[in-house]
Amino acid sequence: MDIDNFLKKEDSISIISNPNYQTIPFQNENFHEIEDKEGIITFIDGGNTEIFSSLNFNLSFIRIASCTYDNNKLKEMKKEEHLILITTEVENNTLYYKPSLFTSEFELVKELPRIDAKDSSISNGIIYGEISKVVDITRRLLEIEFSEKVNSKNIILDGNLKSENNLIKEALKNKNIYALSKTNRLFTNNGDALTVYLNKIASKLGKNKWFYYPLITPNENEPNIIVSKLHQSSKHIFKIEFNKEFNPELINILSKNSIDPVFLGYPYGLVMVDKLARVTNNEKEYFKFKYLSKMKNKEELTQYLNTINAHEILDNIL
């Protein structure tokens, strides 16, 4: 097999079409050089660990953290921690997952909107989605909510801004938030990898560090997309999503934060906030011991946990 020929693709004319947006034909003038500018930027991320989980309930620990940089110097770090308990309830023969937030001492903070167990964001609509997926949705909602607690207009989340969940879409509506994803599944109209294709064109145009915009015209309540190379020596091109108005200044500030030699072109702020939000295995075991010791009927808890842990038992045997 001639791999070189296999990798060759005909020239593309746009990103592949999608029901969520209208494509814009590729144009050289949509490549923009990134300037060296400083400013204030905040990175937000969340971490979580499962303490107990069964078919009909889930108890998890969530930590949300932020790191704010001013002129590329760490200015402020914040974090908050919650327990989330997800239970089930049935109404009109429809199963719902009901999340509630608690303090670490199990004092109720607030009830959160319930989610249909067959919601398309956690299920294929035929079988019930896993209750643990509601934890991920709740974590994202808390990350978005946390953006209101930091003094910065430039907010970057880790991962994708796009979501199939209506609660997340609603939470993002009036907020100008960006998200940078380490990986993507973006293709051109002829099946080429979008980031690779755009980087080839940028190299031919003599662009060192750049962003490409506009790429699409998103439908209502769908995020817009930028593709960017944040450092001239980086070997990675990233997808950046935003949901309101595009501010080129943010890309310039983000580039300034992407100079760490360990991962050139990737914002160090995202590395830092990931460390701050991450929940360790030691913490997980501590929480298990703490809450298990408070339970009176451990045998009944074990029966509930056994509804979904058969795979774990087999994995340990094998």
Tokens 């430039």 found at: 154
Integer Cα distance of 227 and 211 in angstroms? 6
Domain boundaries, the chain: 47-152+282-317
CB 101 within 8 A of CB 83: yes
pLDDT digits (tens, 9 = 90+) for 97-116: 999 999 988 899 999 999 99
Q: How sure is the predictor about 290, in pLDDT bands with cuts at 50, 70 and 90?
A: confident
Q: Specify which residues 41 forms β-bridges with.
A: 69
pLDDT at residue 301, rounded to an integer:
57
Q: Is 300 helix (H, G, I), strand (E, B) or coil?
A: helix
Nearest to 248 by CA among 214, 216, 197, 205: 214
pLDDT at residue 289, rounded to an integer:
80
pLDDT at residue 307, rounded to an integer:
59
pLDDT at residue 318, rounded to an integer:
40
Helix residue ranges, H only, the chain: 3-7, 133-146, 166-172, 194-204, 248-256, 268-277, 281-292, 298-305, 310-317
Integer Cα distance of 190 and 265 in angstroms? 27
pLDDT digits (tens, 9 = 90+) for 156-177: 999 999 999 999 999 999 899 9
Q: For residue 305, what is the DSSP state?
A: H
pLDDT at residue 126, rounded to an integer:
78
Nearest to 77 by CA among 86, 85, 67: 67
pLDDT digits (tens, 9 = 90+) for 45-85: 999 999 988 888 899 999 999 999 999 999 999 999 999 99
Tokens 């091109």 found at: 237
pLDDT at residue 299, rounded to an integer:
58
Nearest to 111 by CA among 102, 119, 120, 103: 102
- What would the mean pLDDT of 259-263 be, rounded to a whole number? 93
- Rg over alpha carbons for the chain, rounded to the nearest Å, is 22
